[in-house]
Chains A and B, each alone.
Chain A
């Protein structure tokens, strides 16, 4: 166990003690104890920055299942460190925020912090794992803990719905990711991500390469809420706001992005990878920002905005993969896309976290998050307003905030797409910057909505549940920290450049690390096209925001029926309905139906095998001569068996059955099996007696008249089929005897070895005595069963049976 392992496991360990602390220190908010963990972890990861920026990689291994090559291998490079810092840093802020957000007397804090710590540990494990299976394990841990956190207020129906929806979608993706991981390991013969990256060249030609890409991407897209799997994220907003801020803006939704970035070196050679990520990313960007404008709930706007920003990061990662194909260029311009992705990832975590916290403050202090009810809060909550304004303007991409810089870099990367001549891309490439630009206008609009709708305009106290006032200082500290980061990163972006972004880019594009590259983010880079694009976004954005009431009817054009949520609900209902009706179709509850299935399967499978293998054979060489006695007996048995079918009374059937049994015992006599004949005779007598007993006790109902069995064609066909198949198989197997019987041994040794002359009995008690022992056990169980059934009638007193 290295320090790095302790870092991953410490939140899990701490989670064990949370309920104890909650129980014994009721006067202190449990969050204060919990706060220690992420703060310590943050300090630990923070002091590793110099190491990774020098290109050092910290790697540790802990044996778990060595025989299956599944070990808890962890390693810390630039990419892992960035995520670890986000997780622990924002984790600390969120816990501090939640201390003031959640009431210590009314809320079940112990469960909340246990879930949150499990989530934090899982997320750390996810980003630090080198082993794909361990990574998958932590991946599912995040899904489960997120499920628990979304359903934290489980008495609310919407919470349960949102939790279930997010669970279904992310677990669908998680399982497909597991499939992808297994295929990857199958191709590269290792679970280690680093070894796979080393082998990336030889993997590309593998036949399952593209399937692996699809499976892995399905996992990443569902987790990171990419179109069309984004629908779970808005419903996950039923979670407490600290959870939304933490999971659904800064950490869990970025797990998919982490996965894409981490596996980028393995897959980036492929055009499929590049275009799927870039295409779905840009589509998500547009759809997310377009849908965000029509929302009226603050958190729903933020949810859609998260979706859209995640799409933006995703598309940048996709374009960054193009860098591999332009290695010869002096200045690799496509690498800039990756830099932009990483930079925006950091920026998004800062401003989205602060926006969620601000939204939580508004909700907490006014009792509603509906922007139609809110208004004029500026005078009551000046600090919250400032925070929101900074966050929203940064999100919109307005200078001097950090969002401006990453948005500029995003546009620059998108313009480069048009110059790309890869993978038969001709004029279609123009679509990307156009969609990106349109999406950004909508981003601008909803950012303005968030910043101004709640704070400006008319103050309507009658719509609010509480009298609004500024939040307590503890609740303001975390968003203030995040908002200051927004400004600091905006003014001094190069603070991050060499310390964090460079090692991350080196991790995402290891092939380029050899070349000397240097990330430099300048706030001002001359009159480039991207600057005019930003100016255009601002102008159009402001214009459209001001005329919002006039054009927002376009959202009514697409009826609710066609929304993806409706589709999801219909799918879930449909699956339930279809499976129910399928089950009802064949599970009739009648034994005769099941017998029909069993016999049909029997006929089909055996008949097909017989036909397929061409196994039918008839060979009369080994057959004995048929004597007159056998003929007579066989005729009697056949007549008897058929007569049972046509017997009118049950008594007749029983007696014919007995006759058939006695005939069988005579057969045994004929074929020289005296033991069998004796046993058969006695057993037949007993069973006929038992049948008569059953017959005698049949209830005398007027409806139960004794009738001949009705003829049913299906039943007749099936029974004839079974008979024919069995006969064919018996004939074939008799004609295909490959080996001599082993009975010669028994004949020789029955007296010599076992001291008996009755070979049957010697076999029963000596050679194969074990069988006999358990057969008498079966008899014993049967007797006790009958005894118990008859004597223990506990169900009904008046039940005479």
Chain B
């Protein structure tokens, strides 16, 4: 019997952007308030999992044509490169730097290389979670 998932799918359409936004918020706020790349990544994949639950794998793959293994690799690369970047400036590996800038719209803000590292963590976590779930889901 084909079930009608209309309610679920509609709620998903509303909920998943919210979860995404929350995940990005958690990610960026990580340096000042609870959160960071790890939880942020988990929440983002939570949003994708919600999509997977309401639609099927093929549909989600059409919406988000991403190879999550590649995401893992990119995340690791970003994290490693952030660490290596310090070497160029004659500083030990994984030395972070930050500076305050007056940016348009946002105003007085600090830009921190640690956020780049956290971005690596974020991507790895999304990639790992989605690889595991997708692989298990596809296997029969």
- The answer to whether A binds B is yes
* Contact flags B54-91 to A (C-beta < 8 A → 1, else 0): 00000000000000110011011001100100000000
Verify A786–B34 contact, CB threshold 8 A.
Answer: no
Report whether A780 and B76 are in contact in the complex, using a CB–CB cutoff of 8 Å.
yes
Known A682-B46, A776-B125; contact A757-B31, beta-carbon cutoff 8 A? yes
Contacts of B117 in A (CB 8 A): 765, 769, 772-773
Residue A779, interface by CB 8 Å: yes
Chain B interfacial positions (CB closer than 8 Å to A): 26, 29-39, 42-43, 46, 68-69, 72-73, 75-76, 79-80, 83, 93-94, 96, 98, 110, 112, 114, 117-118, 120-121, 124-125, 127-129, 131-132, 135-136, 139
Return B107 CB to nearest CB of chain A, in Å. Answer: 16
Q: Which residue of A lies closest to B29 (CB)?
A: A758
Partner of B128, one of A755, A761, A773, A783: A783
Shortest Cβ distance from residue A213 to the other chain B in the assembled complex, whole angstroms: 58
User: Chain A's nearest CB lies how many Å from the CB of B86?
Assistant: 10
Task: Give CA–CA (A777, B124) in the complex, Å.
Answer: 8
User: With A and B bound together, what is the CA distance between A271 and B80 in angstroms?
Assistant: 71
Chain B residues, CB < 8 A from A772 = 79, 117, 121
The reply on A770 being an interface residue by CB < 8 A is: yes
B44 CB → nearest A CB, Å = 11
CB-CB under 8 A from A766, the residues of chain B are 96, 114
On whether the beta carbons of B33 and A755 are closer than 8 Å, the reply is: no
A679: Cβ under 8 A from any B Cβ: yes
Q: Which residues of A contact B136 (CB under 8 A)?
A: 690, 693, 786, 790
Instruction: Supply 16 further A-B pairs (C-beta < 8 A) apart from A779-B124, A780-B127, A787-B132.
Output: A675-B39, A679-B42, A682-B43, A686-B129, A756-B31, A758-B31, A758-B34, A758-B35, A761-B36, A762-B31, A773-B79, A776-B75, A776-B120, A777-B76, A783-B131, A791-B135
Q: A756-B31, A780-B127, A784-B72 are in contact. Are A762 and B43 (CB under 8 A)?
A: no
| Contact pick for B35, options A755, A761, A769, A773, CB 8 Å | A761
Chain A 735-765 interface 0/1 with B at a Cβ cutoff of 8 Å (1 = within): 0000000000000000000111110111011
A160 to B45, CA, bound (A): 66
Given the complex, which residues of A lie within 8 Å of B37, measured CB to CB? 765
Q: Say yes or no: A756-B114 contact (C-beta < 8 A), given A761-B35, A773-B83.
A: yes
With a 10 A CB-CB cut-off, give which of B26, B37, B72 has the most chain A CB atoms: B72
24 contacts between A and B (CB under 8 A): A675-B35, A675-B36, A679-B42, A682-B43, A682-B46, A686-B129, A754-B96, A755-B114, A756-B32, A756-B114, A757-B31, A757-B32, A758-B36, A760-B34, A761-B30, A761-B31, A761-B118, A765-B118, A770-B94, A772-B79, A776-B120, A780-B127, A787-B131, A791-B135
* Residues of chain A lying within 8 A (CB to CB) of residue B73: 780
Interface on chain A toward B: helix, strand, loop, or mixed SS?
A: helix
- With a cutoff of 8 Å between Cβ atoms, the chain B residues found around residue A780 in the complex are 72-73, 75-76, 124, 127-128
Report chain A residues within 8 Å CB of B80. Answer: 773
Which chain B residues border A783 with CB–CB below 8 Å?
68-69, 72, 127-128, 131-132
**Chain A residues closer than 8 Å to B68, beta-carbon distance:** 783
Q: How large is the interface on A (under 10, 10 to 19, 20 to 34, 35 or more residues)?
A: 35 or more
* Shortest Cβ gap from B133 to chain A (Å): 8
A754-B114, A766-B96 known; A674+B34 contact, CB < 8 A: yes
Contact A755 B135 (CB under 8 A): no
Q: How far is the CB of A506 from chain B (nearest CB, A)?
A: 68
Q: In the complex, which of the residues B26, B42, B120 contacts A683, with contact meaning CB atoms closer than 8 Å?
A: B42
A678 at the interface (CB under 8 A from B): yes
Could you tell me if B69 and A784 are in contact, using CB atoms closer than 8 angstroms?
yes
> Assuming A765-B118, A769-B96, A770-B94, is B112 touching A758 (CB within 8 A)?
no
CB distance from B139 to the nearest CB of A (A): 5
Please tell me if the beta carbons of A776 and B121 are within 8 angstroms of each other in the complex: yes
A782 within 8 A of B: yes
Contacts of A765 in B (CB 8 A): 36-37, 96, 114, 117-118, 121
Contacts of B93 in A (CB 8 A): 770
Query: Which residues on A sit within 8 Å (CB–CB) of B31?
Result: 755-758, 761-762
Q: A770 contacts which chain B residues (CB < 8 A)?
A: 83, 93-94
Q: Taking CB as reference atom, which chain B residue is nearest A683?
A: B42
CA distance A679 to B139 in the complex (A): 27
Contact residues in A for B79 (Cβ distance below 8 Å):
772-773, 776
In the assembled complex, the Cα of A796 lies from the Cα of B34 at a distance in Å of: 48
Complex interface residues of chain A between 685 and 710 (CB less than 8 A to chain B):
686, 690, 693
B68 to chain A, nearest CB (A): 8
Q: Which residues of A contact B32 (CB under 8 A)?
A: 756-758
B29 CB → nearest A CB, Å: 8
Instruction: Give Cα distance in the complex from A756 to B115, angstroms.
Output: 10
Instruction: Give, as a whole number of angstroms, the nearest-CB distance from A354 to chain B.
Output: 76
Instruction: Kindly state the separation between the CA atoms of A784 and B132 in the bound complex, as whole angstroms.
Output: 8
Min distance, Cβ B98 to any Cβ of chain A, angstroms: 4
Q: Are the CB atoms of B125 and A779 closer together than 8 Å? A: yes
* Closest partner residue, chain A, to B130 (CB atom): A783
Contact present for B39 and A679 (CB under 8 Å): yes
CB contacts (< 8 Å) of A773 on chain B: these are 79-80, 83, 94, 117, 120
A760 to chain B, nearest CB (A): 8
The CA-CA distance from A621 to B72 in the complex, in Å, is 48
A787-B121 in contact (CB<8A): no
- Which are the 8 A-B pairs with shortest beta-carbon distances? A674-B34, A756-B31, A783-B128, A776-B124, A783-B131, A755-B98, A761-B36, A757-B32
Output the nearest chain A residue to B93 by Cβ-Cβ distance. A770
Q: Out of B75, B98, B110, B139, which one reaches A790, CB within 8 Å?
A: B139
Min CB gap B24→A, angstroms:
15
Contact residue among B35, B121, B128 (Cβ-Cβ distance under 8 Å from A678) = B35
- Give bound CA distance, A678 to B125, whole Å: 14
In the complex, what residue of chain B is closest to A677 when comparing beta carbons? B34
| Residue among A678, A761, A762, A790 with the highest chain B CB neighbour number at 10 A | A761
Are B135 and A790 in contact (CB-based, < 8 A)? yes
Report the nearest A residue to B118, measured CB to CB. Answer: A765
Q: Which residues of B contact A755 (CB under 8 A)?
A: 31, 98, 110, 112, 114
Compute how far the CA of A787 lies from the CA of B132 in the bound complex, rounded to whole angstroms. 7
In the complex, chain A residues whose CB is within 8 Å of the CB of B94: 769-770, 773
User: Closest A-chain residue to B68, C-beta based?
Assistant: A783
In the bound assembly, the distance between CA atoms of A746 and B34 in angstroms comes to: 16
Please indicate the chain A residues that have their CB under 8 angstroms from the CB of B114 in the complex: 754-756, 762, 765-766, 769
Q: How far is the CA of A755 from the CA of B108 in the complex (A)?
A: 14
Bound: A678/B94 CA distance, A: 26
Inter-subunit contact A678/B135 (CB<8 Å): no
Residues of chain A with a CB closer than 8 A to B75's CB: 776, 780
Residue of A nearest to B110 (CB): A755
> Measured between C-beta atoms, what is the minimum distance from A607 to chain B in Å?
37
Give complex CA distance A760, B37 in Å.
12
Contacts of B120 in A (CB 8 A): 773, 776
Closest to B115 in A: A765
A757 touches B131 (CB 8 A): no
How far, in angstroms, from A750 to B49 measured CA to CA in the complex? 35
Asked if residues A782 and B128 are in contact (CB atoms below 8 Å), the reply is yes
Query: Nearest-CB distance from A758 to chain B (Å)?
Result: 6
Expressed in whole angstroms, the Cα–Cα distance for A757 and B32 within the complex equals 4
Whether B42 pairs with A682 at a CB distance below 8 angstroms is yes
> A767-801: contact bitstring with B at CB < 8 Å (1 yes, 0 no)?
00110110011011011101100110000000000
User: In the complex the two chains form, what is the Cα distance from A769 to B43 in whole Å?
Assistant: 22
